[in-house]
A = this chain, B = another copy of it.
Amino acid sequence: MLPKASRLADRRSRVGRTLLTDDLDALLFLDLQNIRYLTGFTGSDGAYLLERDRSVLMVDGRYTTQAGEETSGTKVFQYREKVEGIAEVLAGESLRNIGFEAAAVNVETYGKLKEKVSAVRLQPLAGDLVNIRAVKDDGEIASLRTAAAIASRTLLALLKDVRPGMQERDVALELEYRMRQNGAGGVSFPTITASGMHSALPHAAPGSRLLAMGDALVMDYGAVYEGYHSDETCTFVLGQASAPFQEAYGIVKAAHDQALAAVKAGVACAEIDRIARDHIEAAGLGRFFSHGTGHGTGLDVHEPPRIAAPSKAVLEAGMVVTIEPGVYFPGKWGIRIEDMVLVRENDCEVLSKVPKDLTVL
């Protein structure tokens, strides 16, 4: 499904109003998800220029036809080399100041750009820019809801087949295959299926380890639907949970639940992180919670806002974020519990559908 022409125009108009301030004549985008967000183009390379009265998508020869089909209200320009193409599009226009994505342009490209368009002043944008996609519109929320539902439904069905003796990587492969059979366009990121000691590595790659009785099993996974990424983590145990595992699980689960209960418009992201962290610290496990509490998700699986201590962001209705506290005991096991939620005015809607009470497989 292509984003509706009117929706794309709305986004461009909003971004223009917010970022095309008096001292900027145009915005140059190189981040492919920002380009997709503003033009509908889904290719793997390109550049996009937004002016008050002009919208130009630049692509190479592989994508000219596709760009014409996917975009509307935007001129398509074909280049042989990107930076030269940008220079050509800018030539003849009387543009003086152009804002660009400081996080999406590397120092090499920036150097070439400065050289080729020396008459233009390039102004790095950071703060406002990264947040242009943070609040989702109805179409985006629908895609994220579907992505989360496909993922959860697939995992719940797969659990019946997960048993000791299976390789971690086979569990991951089966989950990814079935999510795509169930309608996912792809997976949000390489699935984590970390068992036993591996579960103590927050981002372990699935390997040849065989699941064994008594193992913790951390599964972090997501489905992509219409370009939108779901993200959910479940921690299971095989056969029987030890007392220390049950205790730690209860602590992480309570931290997760308390943070989630606090999610609503107007609350600082740092406050959500504080709630989860306080609970885990009070239980004496603070030093084992080695990452932030969550992040936004959308066209990228990690996007603003960050839900972490240094975050300055404040939750707004329409944001979709994860809540994912965890604890990791090196050489032993780990636990992470993650739901993806839609922020509403007075609470949140949990989009992930796998129950988070401790489940013994």
Among A10-18, A140-148, A173-181, the one that faces the other chain is A173-181
Contact of A204 among B66, B107, B108 (CB under 8 A): B66
Q: Judge if A106 is at the interface, Cβ distance under 8 Å.
A: yes
* A190–chain B nearest beta-carbon distance, Å: 6
Chain B residues in 8 Å Cβ range of A5:
none
Give the most central of A43, A65, A202, A203: most B CB within 10 Å.
A65
Residues A61 and B291 in contact, CB atoms below 8 Å apart: yes
Residues A108 and B124 in contact, CB atoms below 8 Å apart: yes
Residues A126 and B108 in contact, CB atoms below 8 Å apart: yes
Q: Judge if A286 is at the interface, Cβ distance under 8 Å.
A: no
Residues B203 and A63 in contact, CB atoms below 8 Å apart: yes
* A186–chain B nearest beta-carbon distance, Å: 6
Residues A81 and B124 in contact, CB atoms below 8 Å apart: no
Q: Judge if A310 is at the interface, Cβ distance under 8 Å.
A: yes
**A90-104 contact mask (Cβ, 8 Å, vs B): 1 or 0:** 000000000010111
Give the most central of A64, A105, A109, A203: most B CB within 10 Å.
A203
Copies of this subunit: 2
Residues A106 and B111 in contact, CB atoms below 8 Å apart: no
* A145–chain B nearest beta-carbon distance, Å: 21
Residues B103 and A106 in contact, CB atoms below 8 Å apart: yes
Q: Judge if A60 is at the interface, Cβ distance under 8 Å.
A: yes
Chain B residues in 8 Å Cβ range of A200:
65
Residues B103 and A62 in contact, CB atoms below 8 Å apart: no
Contacting B at CB under 8 A, from A161-184, are: 169, 173, 177, 180-181
Chain B residues in 8 Å Cβ range of A190:
186
Contact of A106 among B43, B107, B169, B186 (CB under 8 A): B107
List the 9 closest A-B pairs by CB distance, nearest first.
Answer: A61-B290, A102-B108, A62-B202, A103-B108, A102-B107, A177-B177, A65-B330, A62-B203, A173-B180
Q: What is A's interface to B at a CB cutoff of 8 Å?
A: 42-44, 60-66, 81, 100, 102-111, 124, 126, 169, 173, 177, 180-181, 185-186, 190, 200-205, 290-291, 310, 330-331
